[in-house]
Structure 1
Amino acid sequence: MDELIDILNPDGTPTGKTALKSEAHKHGWFHATVHIWLFTSNRKILLQKRALTKKVFPGLWDISVAGHIGAGESILSSAKREVFEEIGLVLEEKELIKIGTRIHQVKHANGIQDNEHHHVFIAELKVPVSELTIQKEEVEAIKLFDLEVLKSTEKLENVLLSKFHPYYCMVYDKIITNEKK
């Protein structure tokens, strides 16, 4: 779905301009996204299998929920909206724990240029996966994996991308640190 998003400077500050997501990806303009990693109390991580119709990484088991922040939308509102849209889960703002912002720059073979500021959150998944409802346009399936999959160097077929291993390890560390609180 093409949506209107705010365009950012490379340092993440707003330019005051908006554009369609497709235009931002075509021209490599910086913009903001949210990543929400959902974990369980028994050390599982929810991953989603990206819909096969996705232009980037179709069919990949990836982040629990991710999406673009709409023009004028707050980061937390976007995170809550994306979680509800993609998997039907209602989260309160206090349940979302921000663990960082990362700059992501990748040029894909299909011409899409991702220049994004990912606002990364973790949250505990407190309901069974069977109670979640996936958005078929975005998500092929959802499944719980052992949390260790985030830091494993053993590559599972079509599960996460090895080039982002340091990012996954950071998420793992933040989840473990959060458990100890």
Structure 2
Amino acid sequence: MENEMITLCNEKREHIGVATRAEIHKKGYWHETFHCWFLSNNEGKVFLYLQIRSDQKKDYPNLLDITAAGHILADESIHDGIREVKEELGIDLAIDDVVSLGVFQDCITTNAIIDKEFGNVFLYARNHIDFSQFHLQQDEVSGIVKTPITDFEQLIAGHIEEILVEGFKINQHGKKSSISTMINKHSIVPHEQSYFENVLFAMKKHV
């Protein structure tokens, strides 16, 4: 995975070359990624779905993140990124099943990586999304939870400190169990505040 070849971008999103994923994160090059958020609207109550990153992940193990996301390889188009949904979640979607919310910059800097993304964000919205639909790639994703989008928005804005999430998690033996727990902002991958705000604003137009 660290040797995957990815297209480099400048700050204007112009493609300027190709490098490995490891080099991109080491040197902090801008690059294209694919993000797909799931929403369900059940009788007027809108739920946002989050993945639980596997404890085997090098970066941010066990934290909550975008429903499905990944890097766009150098030989792929943006729309090819829809494969991430099948790979991570086991749900086979076509690009026509999702709606583009736009492209949002998202930069995360830690001691280990400088991750500068042009996040191509898509929305999969349905009246009902059942947890039984998910068949997870367990070395990538260990569970799925949902929370009311209004609660998530309040958490991100700092108006409340905790929210309830409910869903399921798969243990190391492959057994699925239901979970219901309180989480805070530290439970979530630290995407830029502006990224969350822009994505949530764009989602509202489709709810």
Taking structure 1 as the reference length, what is the TM-score of the superposition?
0.87
Q: Match of 2:104? A: 102
- Counterpart CA distance in 2 for 1:47 and 1:124 is 14
2:34 aligns with 34
Higher strand share: 2
Letter in 1 for 2:206: N
Of the two, which has the highest radius of gyration? Answer: 2
Task: Please give the secondary structure, in 2, of the residue aligned with 1:178.
Answer: coil
**Following the alignment from structure 1 to structure 2, what is the Cα–Cα distance between the partners of residues 162 and 34?**
17
Distance 1:59 1:65 in 2: 15
Alignment match of 2:196 (pick from 159, 164, 168): 168
Query: Identity of aligned pairs, percent?
Result: 29
Instruction: Answer yes or no: is the 8 Å Cα contact 2:106–2:192 preserved in 1.
Output: no
Work out the CA distance in 2 between the residues paired with 1:147 and 1:37.
Answer: 11
Cross-structure match for 1:77: 80
> Paired residue for 1:132?
134
1:121 aligned to 2:122?
Answer: yes
Corresponding residue number in structure 2 for 1:149 = 151
Cα deviation, residue 134, structure 1: 0.8
Partner secondary structure for residue 79 of structure 2: helix
DSSP 3-state at the match of 2:206: helix
Deviation at 1:90, TM superposition (A): 1.4
Match of 1:62 in 2: 65
CA, structure 1 residues 162+104, in 2 after alignment: closer, same or farther (shift >3 Å)? closer
Give the unaligned 5+ runs of structure 1: none
Query: What amino acid sits opposite 2:205 in the alignment?
Result: T
Q: How many residues align?
A: 176
Give the Cα–Cα distance (whole angstroms) in 1 for the partners of residues 143 and 61 of structure 2. Answer: 12
**Which amino acid counterpart does residue 136 of structure 2 have in structure 1?**
I
Structure 2 unaligned spans of 5+: 162-182
SS at match of 2:196: helix
After superposition, the CA RMSD in angstroms is: 1.9
Over 3 Å counting, the alpha-carbon distance change for 1:161 and 1:132 in structure 2 is closer
